[in-house]
Structure 1
Amino acid sequence: MHNPTQAIYIVADIGGTNARFAWVRADKRDLNGIEKFPCADFPLFVEAVRAYINRGHAESVAGICLAVAGPVEQDWIDLPNNHWAFSRRELEQQLGMPVTIINDFSAQVLSIAALREDALHWIGEPRPATDQPGVTAVLGPGTGLGVSGMMPSGEIIPSEGGHVGFAPTTRHQSQLLDVLWTRYERVSVERLLSGMGLANLYWANARLLGQEKELPAPEVTTGARAGDTLCVQAVKDFTDILGAVAGDTALAMGAYKGVYLSGGILPQMMDVIDVNDIRRSFEFKGRFSPLCAEIPLAIIVAEHPGLVGCAQALKSS
């Protein structure tokens, strides 16, 4: 049990589906008292924070750092993938403490420096050069698709890169896009690389076979494990498109120091995805294939990188 007289900070990673909380001591950044609450259980965000505090983890709270899945530049925070919206200033008044808010994928990119080697699953041979500055990028599928980057100076590159348009790289992907246009006026990469993305890919592949089938993302993964043909194809498409988008992100950001794949979905799919397909698509960039072949690429398999990133943000503030 921690010393109740010592000021501590709450860190929280707010996704589209779940809100994860922990606390850290003022003098250290080790995560303690980790809890996960379904966002749907709380009409207001402040109620989720109070529920965490009331669990007895945090008697003397000096402040809170939130990582949220959405833009954070304005006072009003409106999360696109869940029902919560709030004012940062009002939240400070309600809680009686300073509130720092960062983008959830800014937290992901901040976490990299603090992650142990066993928290990374490297894909391919290249590794980051520790003595060479460069841009680092993180992207990953969860309820949505997050993208962020970090400059050599440590400055975060804000991004809504998950909402760029989907660009097919094969005839099959072009056929998928034709089908998806019947469902969406515009098809962003998030429509394919997220929980809804797996479900969309399953549906679109079924339509290409003249079938009308829907399946939630967790069941698509389960079906792939069982060898279901449509589920296996959906996972294959997801993997190929993820690698391609990661390579595009590397080129767009100049992220030659490394690209890291995170989010809530990938760690749960490690047994059904072919990481070689991710690497192959990542490098399939025409004249820039040799350049992409030299870029380090890894999957973050740590359980709570968003919370680690919030702790890092407090450490640097």
Structure 2
Amino acid sequence: MNKPVHIVADIGGTNARFAYVQADSNELLGIEIFPCAEFPFLRDAIRAYMERGHVDLIDEICLAVAGPVESDWIDLPNNHWAFSRAELQQSLDASVSIINDFSAQVLSIDTLSGADLKWIGTPRPADIQQHVVAVLGPGTGLGVSAMLSTGEILPSEAGHVAFAPTDEHECDLLKVLWQRYQRVSVERILSGMGLANLYWANCRLAGFERELTAADISAGAHAGDKYCLRAVNDFCAILGSVAGEVALMMGATDGVYVSGGIIPRLIDLLDEDLFRRRFDEKGRFREICAEIPLAIMLAKHPGLQGCVKAINVNKYRNMRS
């Protein structure tokens, strides 16, 4: 490329996804995925992406990062990268904007097509957003964000609220997990490490000690292993409940969307009726929750699409200012 382009990057706890878009285009080009652990610093990953031959000149770069973005110094809690936005901008000689990774997820919603979404239940969103939409997604951690009808983003750390059991089995799981954590947040259950925690806790309840990685648990569940299936079923049921809690805490009556890398890999094991029922079962607010659209995001790169949307929104605001 001999013309300046916009780089977009979705940086999670495990992987960094990169792409670029040309001026006046929303099409993602040159998509690459780099393991964060392979690079000491973020700028090394950016340089490696550019050296692949996709990009020579940068006009602007938008980074979606899994962590707080309010200050100049960005320290990612789920990987080893930390950096100054101002120093990175100077190093790259390009404008650098940084948004939370789940702000990017929620920005991507109106860019998704029908094939990018799997609806759970019958409610569907209105053609025009009038209230709040929310996204939550289990991956390396558990992210949550919401967007007002005005387009303003409500970032949050709702993934760190305390886990609330809904039945006796979940109470037993919590008692076991208290042996490992003084405080059990929902992220300790709804994440890659969370799936591993659920497997370990179910094995402890069965009277033996065993630990597996999230990838091995997923493979075991697909192979029919009893305890892997139990962990996956617990994971999906609790995710349904927490999605309903997010709808209430955010007032997200225009829709709740589940993203992240874990659920698409477990989609064939998901009990959709149970998932929807756990979303709806909110006591006095059951009738309200039952009318809220609920979908699983199947798009491969919603975070990158959200970064493109953020660049376009910033351009529009600059034109009006």
Interval containing the TM-score (normalised by the shorter chain): over 0.9
Q: Which residue among 186, 196, 199 is the counterpart of 1:199?
A: 196
Match of 1:290 in 2: 287
- Residue type of the alignment partner of 1:294: E
TM-score normalised to structure 2 length: 0.97
Aligned length in residues: 314
Alignment partners' CA distance in 2, 1:34 and 1:41: 18
Aligned to 1:45: 42
Unpaired stretches in structure 1, ≥5 consecutive residues: none
Does 1:18 find its partner at 2:35?
Answer: no
Q: Aligned partners of 2:117, 2:41: CA distance in 1, in Å? A: 35
Distance 1:99 1:116 in 2: 29
Contact 1:120–1:301 (CA<8 Å) still a contact in 2?
Answer: yes
1:34 aligns with 2:11: no
**2-side partners of 1:70 and 1:277: how far apart?**
31
How many Å apart are 1:141 and its aligned residue?
A: 0.3
Identity of aligned residues (%): 63
Q: 1:145 aligns with which of 121, 142, 146?
A: 142
Work out whether 1:60 is the aligned partner of 2:57: yes
1:132 positional shift = 5.1
Q: Distance in 2 between matches of 1:252 and 1:9?
A: 35
Which one of 234, 239, 263 corresponds to residue 237 of structure 1?
234
Q: Displacement, 1:297?
A: 0.1
Matched residue type, 1:18: N
Contact 1:8/1:61, CA 8 A, preserved across alignment? yes
- Gaps of at least 5 residues in structure 2 are 315-321
Q: Is the 8 A contact 1:221 1:272 kept in 2?
A: no
- Give TM-score, length-normalised by structure 1: 0.98
- Say which of 292, 311, 316 aligns to 1:314: 311
Deviations 1:255-287 (A, max 9, x none): 000000001111111112212221110001111
1:178 is aligned to 2:175: yes
| Residue pairs, 1:1-317, within 5 angstroms | 4-131=1-128, 133-317=130-314
State the 1:60 CA deviation: 2.0
| Paired residues of 2:129 and 2:149 also in contact (CA < 8 A) | no
Amino acid at match of 1:236: N
The alpha-carbon deviation at position 96 of structure 1 amounts to 1.2
The structural deviation recorded for 1:63 is: 1.1
1:86-118: CA deviations, max 9, x gaps?
111111111111110000000000000111111
- Structure 1 contact 203–214 (Cα < 8 Å) conserved: yes
Question: Matches of 2:56 and 2:35 in 1, distance apart?
Answer: 23
Aligned equivalents of 1:279, 1:79: Cα separation in 2: 33
Amino acid at match of 1:21: F
Counterparts of 1:244 and 1:50 in 2: how far apart (Å)? 42
Q: Distance in 2 between matches of 1:290 and 1:252?
A: 16
CA distance in 2: counterparts of 1:238 and 1:156, whole angstroms: 27
> How far did 1:292 drift?
0.4
Note the C-alpha offset of 1:227. 1.1
Which amino acid in the other structure matches residue 11 of structure 2? I
Partners in 2 of 1:38 and 1:281 — Cα distance?
34
Letter paired with 1:67: A
In the TM superposition, what is the alpha-carbon distance from 1:7 to its structure 2 partner? 2.3
SS at 1:306 equivalent: helix
Would you identify which runs of 4 or more consecutive aligned residues in structure 1 move more than 6 Å? none
Other structure's SS at 1:46 match: helix
**Greater shift in the superposed pair: 90-99 or 247-256:** 90-99
